[in-house]
Amino acid sequence: MNSTDRDAIDTLVESLVAAFNRHEARGFAAGFTESASFVDVLGRRMAGRQGIEAGHRFPFGGPLAEAVLTVEKRTDTVVHPDVAVVDLAWRTRGGRGGDGRAVGERVGLLSLTTVRSGSRWQIALGHNVDYTNAFDRTTDSPDRADASRTPGTPGEVVVTGSSETSS
């Protein structure tokens, strides 16, 4: 992955996180392709950019209206010169449950499959998983699955894979 591609993906991810923290469904969906697919932490599948926008209106106006998302660790895997998977280990604070009560800090993983079309990178697929209650934190759990155990350095980017393809 060259520096131009990395910068474009950095901007894409930063825009997504900023839109989440502004609680803007349209801004959150803006970086997705028209035909993208997104699965949220509840397992709901949203189809297309418009579906992703619509699917985030309620949470951003309700349970996530005061939530702040922080990326604790980021891993980029180049699977093809025009495809990169971006895994974001995240942490949120300030969310509320359906009853309006604070839910406390949550941790999870947002996996984004990004694709390049010309010079523009967009998200074709997103899958968000909340690991908050998935593991007993008193026992060993997979590092990747529990962002609270191995948060990495905020802003850290790990790149794996190669922009070279083999035949």
Range of the domain at 132: 3-161
Q: What is the pLDDT along the chain (167 residues), one digit of tens a residue?
A: 889 999 999 999 999 999 999 999 999 999 999 999 999 999 999 999 999 999 999 999 999 999 999 999 999 999 999 999 999 999 999 998 878 889 889 999 999 999 998 889 999 999 999 998 766 554 444 444 444 433 344 444 444 444 433 33
- Helix, strand, coil content of the chain in percent (nearest 5): 25, 40, 40
Paired tokens of 59: 């949470």
Q: What domain count does the chain have? A: 1
Q: How many helices (H) and strands (E) does the chain have?
A: 3, 7
Contact present, 74 and 87 (Cβ < 8 Å): yes
Q: Is residue 147 part of a domain?
A: yes
pTM here? Answer: 0.80
Whichever domain contains 91, its CATH number is: 3.10.450.50
